[in-house]
Structure 1
Amino acid sequence: MTVVLALLGFQVVARFGFSRSFSWLEEVSRFAFVWAVYFGFVIAAEKDRHIRISLHIEALPRRPRLILFTLADAVWLVFNAVVIWHGYWFTMSMFEFPYISQTTGINLVWVQMIVPLGFLLMSVRIVQVMIRRWQGEEEHVDHRKGD
């Protein structure tokens, strides 16, 4: 996000301070923002702070709660596997048939690659949380209540 803010800040200063505009800055800022969002997903998964409706599960005893969280995470991992699989083949096709950015001239595969990569990293974090949860090192905490 720092890169996005720095690039956009530079663009504003250049445009309004010096009456000069760089078209590539806005596009690179968008690319960096997309990557930042996916890395944010990975961080949220690592800290088990992703969107989940768990109020009804919190009322259960520990073992059934662990089973339900594990089942939900397993469904999530299956979804991630589908996205990784299709994202991988999509990015491989972009190497064969490149989409070139109009303003920067780069192959957009380098931007699109974050989709399978982000979901792969997210899956690793989900498995880590599942292991910690079953080892008793981590309990699910309702983060809406604050830290």
Structure 2
Amino acid sequence: MLGMVAIIFVQVIARYAFSNSLTWSEEVGRYLFVWMTFLGTALAVRNKAHVALDVLVGKLPPLLQKAVIVFGYLSMMVFAGVLVYAAVNMMTLGTRQVSAALQIPMRWVYMVLPVSGVLIIFYLAKNLYEECWQRRS
């Protein structure tokens, strides 16, 4: 995030103070924002900071609570699996595309999708294990 803010700040200074715009700064800022967003999503899953309806689940009987929790985690894992699958297909397309300003292969931009998807699946599996099997002790 610091890198993104610094690049955009330098771009603003260059544009208004020197009347010379950096051609690559907007693209780098955008790609850093995309990477930050998807890796932040994986981090939120790791810290169990994703959106959940705990009030509703807390009012259910214990067996039904466990079933709803397992269903929720498995649903999110399926979604993350679809993300990984679609991202791999997108990366295949990205091998033939280059970014406009930086002229880098777009697969480097798209790579965050399968990376974050795999991290999300891993953290969901870890959290599911902790929720359901370590709760007994």
Please give the TM-score of this superposition, normalised by the length of structure 2.
Answer: 0.90
Q: CA deviation at 1:100?
A: 1.0
Correspondence for 1:30: 30
Query: C-alpha root-mean-square deviation of aligned residues, in Å?
Result: 1.6
Correspondence for 1:105: 103
Correspondence for 2:126: 128
Q: CA deviation at 1:80?
A: 1.3
- Distance in structure 1 (CA, Å) of the matches to 2:86 and 2:53: 28
- Distance in structure 2 (CA, Å) of the matches to 1:24 and 1:64: 53
% identical aligned pairs = 24
- Distance in structure 2 (CA, Å) of the matches to 1:90 and 1:25: 24
Please give the TM-score of this superposition, normalised by the length of structure 1.
Answer: 0.84
* 2:91 and 2:106 in contact (8 A); partners too: no
Secondary structure of the equivalent of 2:10? Answer: helix
Correspondence for 2:46: 46
Letter in 1 for 2:123: R
- Verify: 1:119 aligned to 2:117, yes or no: yes
Secondary structure of the equivalent of 2:98? Answer: coil
Q: 1:87-143: per-residue Cα shift (whole Å, max 9, x none)?
A: 112212432xx1111111111111011112111111111111111112129xxxxxx
Number of aligned residue pairs: give it: 135
- Verify: 1:10 aligned to 2:5, yes or no: no
- Distance in structure 2 (CA, Å) of the matches to 1:44 and 1:2: 19
Secondary structure of the equivalent of 1:67? Answer: helix
- Distance in structure 2 (CA, Å) of the matches to 1:93 and 1:21: 30
Matches within 5 A, 1:53-132: 53-95=53-95, 98-132=96-130
Unaligned ranges ≥5, structure 2? none
When structure 1 is superposed on structure 2, of 39-48 and 61-70 the one drifting more is 61-70
- Distance in structure 2 (CA, Å) of the matches to 1:101 and 1:88: 18
Q: CA deviation at 1:65?
A: 1.6
- Distance in structure 1 (CA, Å) of the matches to 2:83 and 2:54: 25
Q: 1:19 to 1:93 in 2, by over 3 A?
A: closer
Letter in 2 for 1:45: V
- Distance in structure 1 (CA, Å) of the matches to 2:58 and 2:124: 19
